[in-house]
Amino acid sequence: MSSLDGTTLARDDAKMAPMELQRRRVSYDDLAQMPEDGRRYELYDGEVFVVPSPILLHQVVAMRLGHILDDYARRAGGLAVASPMDVIFSDYDVVQPDIVFLTADSMRTVSLMDRIRQPPDLAVEVLSPSTASNDRGRKMRMFQRYGVPEYWIVDPIEKNIEIYRLAESAYGLVGTFSGSAQMRSAVLPDLTVVPASVFPSDLR
């Protein structure tokens, strides 16, 4: 399959591994001109990565956590948004976190008729085996570089949630929460999440 001036895209395989497009630096405008094909695209310094559809467990956990954050937004203000949604940090750095949260203050500079063009207050990634290294690596570094105040890494296999907070331009691990522990967010006051509530009890 060819795209973007003849550059060849790798075909999907059975794994949920991001597939890399290498040839030239691609901008968000270039990406926007590609025909809609249902895939998730991200840009890392102009490199295009295509992420196939996630497994069912990933979607169940993301949906449950998204509902918790949406309920909080209805009470406290702000907006919880699930992927697919482009977060455009620059012309060459664009990602689609599984969930982002924008506080009421941040919503003053966001248009519902556009994509997200500023750092969200919270980014959430639900791990899959073939994306864990990316979510803990370059994506995490991108969130850090562009000043996303808080980052949650959700592990459906280990059934835990890690909270990272930005301090002096670097993320520090606040804690790893599981079971009936009460997890609290610095950027979302009065929000309490019990990790057990987002993970299915029966994994098959």
- Please report the DSSP string for 146-197 in residue order: TT-SEEEEEETTTTEEEEEEEETTEEEEEEEEETTPPEE-SSSTT-EE-GGG
Is the per-residue pLDDT at 68 higher than 60? Answer: yes
The pLDDT, as a whole number, for residue 204 is: 64
Q: Which domains does the chain have, with CATH numbers?
A: 2-51 (no CATH), 56-197 (3.90.1570.10)
Mapping DSSP to helix (H, G, I), strand (E, B) and coil, where does residue 142 land?
Answer: helix
Mapping DSSP to helix (H, G, I), strand (E, B) and coil, where does residue 132 land?
Answer: helix
**Number of residues that this document lists for the chain:** 204
What are the residues facing 164 on neighbouring strands? 151, 173
Q: Which residues are CB-neighbours of 170 under 8 A, at least 6 positions away?
A: 144
Beta pairing, strands 93-95 & 99-102 = unpaired
Is the per-residue pLDDT at 203 higher than 90? Answer: no
The pLDDT, as a whole number, for residue 9 is: 45
* Mean per-residue pLDDT of the chain: 88
Handedness of CA 129, 132, 133, 139 (dihedral sign): positive
DSSP structure class, residue 28? H
Rounded to two decimals, the pTM is 0.85
According to the 3-state scheme, what is the secondary structure of 36-90?
CCCCEEEEECCEEEEECCCCHHHHHHHHHHHHHHHHHHHHHCCEEEECCCCEEEE
Question: What confidence category does residue 23 fall into, taking pLDDT thresholds of 50, 70 and 90?
Answer: low
Could you tell me if residue 159 is left (phi over 0), alpha (psi between -120 and 50 degrees) or otherwise beta?
A: left
- Gap between the Cα atoms of 180 and 182, Å rounded: 6
Question: What confidence category does residue 31 fall into, taking pLDDT thresholds of 50, 70 and 90?
Answer: confident
Beta pairing, strands 19-21 & 47-51 = antiparallel
Give the mean model confidence (pLDDT) for residues 118-124.
97
Is 93:180 a contact under the CB 8 Å cutoff?
no
Question: For 123-139, b where at least 16 C-beta lie within 10 A, e where not — what string?
Answer: bbbbbbeebeebbeebb
Q: Which residues are CB-neighbours of 7 under 8 A, at least 6 positions away?
A: 21, 23, 24
